[in-house]
A and B are shown apart, each in its own frame.
Chain A
Amino acid sequence: MSGDPTLERIAQGEGLALCAAGNWTARFAPALERIVSDAEKLRGSRPHIFIDVSQVASLDTFGAWLIERLRRSLSDAGAEAEIAGLSANYSSLVDEVRRVGPAPRVVSDPLSITGMLEQIGRTVAGIGSTIIGLVDMLGAVIAAAGNVLIHPRSFRLTSTVHHLEQVCWRAVPIVVLITFLIGCIISQQGIFHFRRFGADIFVVDMLGVLVLREIGVLLVAIMVAGRSGSAYTAELGSMKMREEIDALRTMGFDPIEVLILPRMLALVLALPILAFLGAMAALYGGGLVAWLYGGVDPEAFLLRLRDAISIDHFIVGMVKAPVMAAVIGIVACVEGLAVQGSAESLGQHTTASVVKGIFFVIVMDGVFAIFFASIGM
């Protein structure tokens, strides 16, 4: 058994015999396809064509289909084409592939100007429905919270504590580490540039205001959106995919109350705590660098800090934290519940959750900046 498939052409008077031999199987599919394409060029040349398969060593769906395809294309051209020499084993296989019709075409939209314009229009409309979805979820969460206030027994304390551990306690090391390093960098850069004017000491003012008002809470919110927002979306999304959320609903539970409220509450409690720890770590890092690199000793640093900042700066930072947490949580839950049946969809919505979460956090920060400026804080 040589193995490689062949198709020999033998003239028989008026007609032609095509003798197939060797292995007509999937392994040899590329060679088979070439052989059959060549043989298809014979179409119309002879009135009678026999395809003799008695010498075929082994045949599978690939081989059987290619022989059938050859027969069809020859008889379409007007020749009398027949398959001969089929053993009993293989004839049922050939009968099977004889039922095969044409493959349905892949429907793909051609690239066009109108198509692109349509895409832009849909995206813009999508922004509107995103906002509606967020407001909808916010309303549902508030309603569920109200319900829990009326019936405190339905509050899920265990679940809330569990999520609090996940999003707060376990996030402490990374949040403290990163904010500490950011504090160090701000301080070092400040000293480096302020030194030219002999204004080294003002680095303390900059550090204090920046960290307490903006960087502390903003940076921590972005980290939480990446760390916990994505986790919420993935959890809820895979529960949606496996119909767990539907199961919950049919048992008479409100998924918002059971799944989303504890997560939201945990996040709203966690972010102020993390923002506070982050701000302290950043001030500590900044102070350390100011001392070691800038020669501002700790006592002078603290004295200057006390003058530079007021409690207002701290309050401004802390007030923003729970609101940002709510925004992150709402976005994450909306995206989680929007997941469809495929792994790809889960990935897309998790990405969207983080991107939108960070975007809305920064937008909220801007809104807060305008608000606090106008009330003079």
Chain B
Amino acid sequence: MAEEDIDAIIRVRDITVQFGKTRVLDGLNLDVKRGEILGFVGPSGAGKSVLTRTIIGLVPKVSGRIEVFGVDLDAASSAQRRAVERRWGILFQQGALFSSLTVRQNIQFPAREYLRVSQRLLDEIMVAKLVMVGLKPEVADRYPSELSGGMIKRVALARALALDPELVFLDEPTSGLDPIGAGDFDELVRTLQRTLGLTVFMVTHDLDSLYTACDRIAVLGNGKIIAAGSIADMKASQHPWLQQYFNGKRARAVVA
């Protein structure tokens, strides 16, 4: 690690994660720079979600060091940790909306807990978030079970953005959306990144997302990052999996 990137918002060093005897992540290193959209790809079951969950702190690691916003999460006091948690937002794969709360309550939940502001401001900010993620304010009083899959993703994104985080984790944001919806979602992430200056860590399988939304791509294989760089770097890589992924039939269809 000769070149320490000062601007790295997430710094992952030598992370090892093990479930029983299977080693999922094996001495993995990764930097995410401030203000970029990092696309994170890899074969199914390679441990993409595990890495995300390890960074967030939901999965315990065997060894290694994780710094987010320059704070070492293992050494951080609980107050420091909470401060970090307020600065990131997470979109889970299935949305993970609170099923017994309405859309309004879901989006207001983090702000209501952390900020002492009036109900009026909470309502106004809730509408602002809904507009930002491309939903009509009328959905505010529906329950998650009354929403379509795409709407759930959008509401979950609105909730992830509730406290105006600097860093957003998106776990397969476009999976289960139709291509037009997925394209809109990529566009949305791009716009939000520009307007709010977000850093985005996006786990995805969607080649279109990689082409249109991501600034940089990191590829996971055998528990390590096997390549990181722009789309052009990926296509030039000699790694067989990358060759197949970026130059395969589906990839050619995307470029054409």
Contact = CB atoms under 8 A, between A and B. Distances in A.
Interface of A: 25-27, 29-30, 33, 60-62, 65-66, 69, 89, 92-93, 96-97, 99-104, 106-107, 340-345
Which label, helix, strand, loop or mixed, suits the secondary structure of the B interface?
A: helix
A342 B99 contact: yes
Nearest to A60: B164
A340 B115 CA distance: 32
Given A61-B132, A344-B100, A345-B100, A103 B195 contact: no
B124 A25 contact: no
Given A26-B163, A33-B121, A340 B145 contact: yes
9 contacts: A29-B115, A33-B118, A61-B128, A61-B161, A97-B128, A100-B128, A100-B131, A103-B127, A340-B145
Contacts of B98: 343
Interface in B83-113: 86, 98-100, 104, 111
Given A25-B164, A61-B132, A62-B125, A103 B140 contact: yes
B100 A93 contact: no
B150 interface: no
Nearest to B100: A344
Pairs of residues from A and B, 5 with the lowest C-beta to C-beta distance, nearest first: A341-B145, A344-B100, A103-B123, A60-B164, A342-B99
B117 A29 contact: yes
A342 to B, nearest CB: 4
Contacts of A69: 124
Nearest to A341: B145
A62 B121 CA distance: 9
A88 to B, nearest CB: 10
Contacts of B161: 61
B196 A61 contact: yes
Nearest to A26: B164
A100 B164 contact: no
A51 B102 CA distance: 36
A104 B121 contact: no
A303 B127 CA distance: 80
Interface of B: 86, 98-100, 104, 111, 115-118, 121, 123-129, 131-132, 137-138, 140-141, 143-146, 161, 163-164, 191, 194-197
B99 A344 contact: yes
A343 B100 contact: yes
B196 A93 contact: yes
Among A69, A101, A104, A345, residue most surrounded by chain B Cβ atoms (within 10 Å)? A104
B112 to A, nearest CB: 11
A26 B161 CA distance: 11
A342 B144 contact: yes
A103 B100 contact: no
Contacts of B137: 101-104
A96 B123 CA distance: 16
Contacts of B196: 60-61, 93
Given A101-B137, A104-B138, A341-B144, A30 B128 contact: no
A143 B173 CA distance: 46
B104 A106 contact: yes
A171 to B, nearest CB: 31
B165 to A, nearest CB: 9
Q: Which of A60, A69, A89, A343 has the most CB of B within 10 A?
A: A60
Given A26-B111, A62-B121, A62-B125, 17 more contacts: A27-B86, A30-B115, A30-B117, A33-B117, A60-B196, A61-B128, A92-B191, A99-B131, A101-B127, A101-B137, A103-B124, A104-B137, A342-B100, A342-B145, A344-B99, A344-B100, A345-B100
A229 B111 CA distance: 39
B126 A103 contact: yes
A65 B123 CA distance: 12
A96 B195 contact: yes
Contacts of B140: 103-104
A345 B144 CA distance: 13
B151 to A, nearest CB: 14
A96 B124 CA distance: 13
